[in-house]
Chains A and B, each alone.
Chain A
Amino acid sequence: GENVEQHPSTLSVQEGDSAVIKCTYSDSASNYFPWYKQELGKGPQLIIDIRSNVGEKKDQRIAVTLNKTAKHFSLHITETQPEDSAVYFCAASMVGGNQFYFGTGTSLTVIP
């Protein structure tokens, strides 16, 4: 089955700096890659996603890049703000499939 690895497990950045979280996957059949943000005491919230026919997607300060050949994808947050502090999870799945394979999570702290 699919195996998703996520790095780093913890990340601290100064407010205004950029943050990058990387994930790798093993199954070349995976073609849908969402990213979730989980704040303390809340459920995971979808923040951005990308399909395998696209190499990059942006939404304001958040961007995701995908390298299908290398089987890795990354979340980029620019101009970080304290409210970006949370745990971020990547996932991989197949469009039309049931199973989401989650990474182990990255705890991001933005220092004011």
Chain B
Amino acid sequence: SAVISQKPSRDICQRGTSLTIQCQVDSQVTMMFWYRQQPGQSLTLIATANQGSEATYESGFVIDKFPISRPNLTFSTLTVSNMSPEDSSIYLCSGGLQETQYFGPGTRLLVL
């Protein structure tokens, strides 16, 4: 299995600002992913973080709004840019090992 940590665990931000979320995995996973989870809802994939190259974004998510980095096999960041109240959500990082995914504890973001 893989143990995944995220920082920060929660934050309250002002609209128009940006927040960068960090994700650290304790082992070399093959894939890393970023999800968004609205309260009481399921998980929506934002993008696949690719090591050393641009992330692969899902429909409805763009690099300008959610820039992602993955400088090595165990670390990735997601930035939520120019935030609005609609960006208030839980952001989850996951690491893919063999056929499954292991999730971090999430970052709870509130935008005022």
Interface of A toward B, CB cutoff 8 Å: 32, 34, 36, 41-46, 49, 51, 89, 93, 95-96, 98-100, 102-105
Known: A49-B100, A89-B43, A103-B42. A98 touches B31 (CB 8 A): yes
| B21 in the interface (beta carbon within 8 A) | no
Query: Measured between alpha carbons, how far is A93 from B96 in the docked complex, in Å?
Result: 12
Instruction: Give the top 10 A-B pairs by smallest Cβ distance, nearest first.
Output: A43-B103, A95-B99, A43-B105, A44-B103, A43-B106, A102-B42, A102-B43, A104-B42, A32-B99, A43-B104
Asked if B79 CB lies within 8 Å of chain A CBs, one says no
| Chain A interface main SS type | loop
**Who on chain B is nearest to A34 by CB?**
B100
CA of A46 to CA of B99, assembled, Å? 12
Known: A44-B92, A104-B42. A96 touches B106 (CB 8 A): no
Q: Mark B17-45, 1 if CB is under 8 A from A, else 0.
A: 00000000000000101000000011101
